Structure 1
C-alpha cells in the first residue's frame, strides 16, 4: 500500500462517485478550545460522510474496481463497513447482503435495512459473522468486500488523509487514528508516510495492533468493551500490519471510561454526536496518553457516527 495506490483510488472514486461521497469538513481549532496544550487541533468530521463513517470511501472503491456479479455484494461487519457497503451498493443499483454479529447495535441494523440490505445476524463476534459470510459468498458468488483488509478498501481509506492534507494546506504534525482491523490507519499511514507522526489508538478491550506488536506478528485477541461494535476485529489486518510496521511508531491503549468521557465531551461541548470509536483521539489527549508539543498541530479523525443518540443523554 502506497501513495500511488491511494491516488488511483481517489481518481476512481472521483470519476465514479456520482455525487455519492462527501468532502467532509476539516475544523481547525486552537488547542486551547479543547483544553489541550498545543498549537492547533484539526477535527476531520468524517462522521458526516455518507453512511456515517469513513468506510464509504473504501467500499465504493472496492465496488468500482471490480466486475459486479448478478448476485451483488456481500460483507461481514460490526456495522459501519456494512452500512458503507450497502450505501455504495444502493448508489450503484446492486444487491447487498450483510452479516453482522450479535454484539452489533440495533441502530446499525436498522440503518442497514433502511439502505435496502439483507441483514443476517449471526455469531457472538465479528470473526464468527465473517466465517458465516464467507460460506454464503461461496454459495452465491457475490463480490466480497472486507471490512478492512483489501487493497481497494485500505486505499479508499487513504483518500481521507489525502483530503486532510489538501484542506489543511499541509500535512499535520501528528494524526491520532483509531484502530480496529486497521483499514483506516493503513490508509492514513500509507499516505502520510514519514511526513506526519501517525499514532495508533485502541481500546484496552480490543488491542489487536498492540498485542501483534508484543508478539511480533498478527495474533488473535479477545475483544470487548465500549467500542467493540466498530473496533472489534479479532486480528489486525495483514495490510495494516505491514504499513504500520513501516510508518507507525506509537501504539497506545485507552480505557473505556476515558473513551466514554471524550465521546460525551464532544457532544456536550461541541455538539458532535460520534460513536465511541471516533472519540479515542480526544481521549488520548485528555488523559495525557499522547502529549503533543506546544507548537504541534494534531489531527483527530472523527471516524463514525453510527450510535444510539439516547446514549449521549
Structure 2
C-alpha cells in the first residue's frame, strides 16, 4: 500500500476534516423485514452526510490540504461530488465551478446551485463533463478536485472506513457500491485486508468488474439507473492496485434490484437512498450476496440525493 495512504495519514486527514463532517449513524436491521433472507446486517447511513453523500469527506480533504488560487476550484461530477465540492467551497469561502453531464439528476443539480457554485452542463456523460472541466482548468488556473482519482480524494473517503471500524469493531464484511472507485479504494487502504470488502456495481456500469477481467482499468459501459453516480468510463488508476489486493470481485446488481432496494429502504426503515446509494443494499436484499453464518456484515448506504420520495 502506498505510504501516502497509510493509516497514520488517513487518521491525520480525519482529524482535519472532522469539524466539517458529520459522524453518520448505524442502524441494525434484519433483511427478513425487507423481504430478503433472514440474516442481520448493520447499515452505515452515510446518506445522512453533509451534501447528501460520502463525497463531502474527499472535498474537505482537498480544500483543507491544498492551496486554492484566486480562480477557485473546478470539478467534474455526476452530481454527488459536485454537490460536496460546492458545499465545502461555500463553507470555506472559495468560488467553485462544477461541470456535470446531462444525465445528472435534478436533485443534484439543484443542490449544487443552492450551495452557490457555478453549474455548467458539459456533455452527455461524466467523461464529457470531465473533459470540459479540464479545459476550464487550463484556461483559468482553477484548482482541479477530481471525483475519485486523486490522492486527496482517496484519503478523505478512507476516513469513512476508519469511522465504520470504530462504530462496528466486530465487523467482518463490508458491502460498498463502486463507481470510479475512490470510496472503495480509500476504504480498502484503511482496512488493509483486515475485513472482507465486497464491491457492488450496477450491471449497466461494470467498471471495476471489467477492470478485474482485464487486469487494469479499461473503458466499460456507462449506463443504468445509477449512471449519475456509478458510471464513469473506467475506475481510477490510484484505486485499482488497492482493489486487486484488498477487494472481492464485484457483485453486479440490476436496475430492478436497485429500485427494489430503494423502495425497501424507504418503506422498511424510512431511509432515503438514491440508486447508487442503494446498490450495496440491493446486493444483500436480492440474494446476490449471502453472508456465511459467522459473518458480521455492514452495508454502506452512501448517497441520498434523489427526488424519488415526494411529499404532499
Shorter-chain TM-score tier: over 0.9
Which structure 2 segments of 5+ residues have no match? none
- Provide the rounded CA distance (Å) in 2 between the counterparts of 1:121 and 1:294: 48
Residues 312 and 116 of structure 1: CA distance in aligned 2, closer, same or farther (over 3 Å): same
Q: Which residue of 1 aligns with 2:274?
A: 275
The normalised TM-score by structure 2 is 0.94
Q: Is the 8 A contact 1:264 1:312 kept in 2?
A: no
For residues 82-121 of structure 1, what are the structure 2 equivalents within 5 Å? 82-121=82-121
Which structure 1 segments of 5+ residues have no match? none
Q: Is the 8 A contact 1:7 1:159 kept in 2?
A: no
Residues 25 and 63 of structure 1: CA distance in aligned 2, closer, same or farther (over 3 Å): same
- Provide the rounded CA distance (Å) in 2 between the counterparts of 1:194 and 1:82: 31
Give secondary structure in 2 for the equivalent of 1:233. Answer: coil
Give secondary structure in 1 for the equivalent of 2:20. Answer: coil
Residues 16 and 217 of structure 1: CA distance in aligned 2, closer, same or farther (over 3 Å): closer
Structure 1 outlier segments of 4+, above 2 Å: 1-17, 28-38, 309-313
Alpha-carbon displacement from aligned partner over 1:152-204 (angstroms, at most 9, x marks no partner): 10111011010011112x15111111000001100111112221110111001
Q: Which residue of 2 aligns with 1:158?
A: 158
Alpha-carbon displacement from aligned partner over 1:50-80 (angstroms, at most 9, x marks no partner): 0000010011001111111111110000000
Residues 88 and 121 of structure 1: CA distance in aligned 2, closer, same or farther (over 3 Å): same
Residues 129 and 312 of structure 1: CA distance in aligned 2, closer, same or farther (over 3 Å): farther
User: Alpha-carbon deviation of 1:218?
Assistant: 0.9
Count, aligned residues:
310
Q: Is the 8 A contact 1:171 1:192 kept in 2?
A: no
Alpha-carbon displacement from aligned partner over 1:238-270 (angstroms, at most 9, x marks no partner): 112111011113211111101110111001111
Q: Is the 8 A contact 1:37 1:292 kept in 2?
A: no
Q: RMSD of the alignment, in Å?
A: 1.9
Residues 305 and 2 of structure 1: CA distance in aligned 2, closer, same or farther (over 3 Å): farther
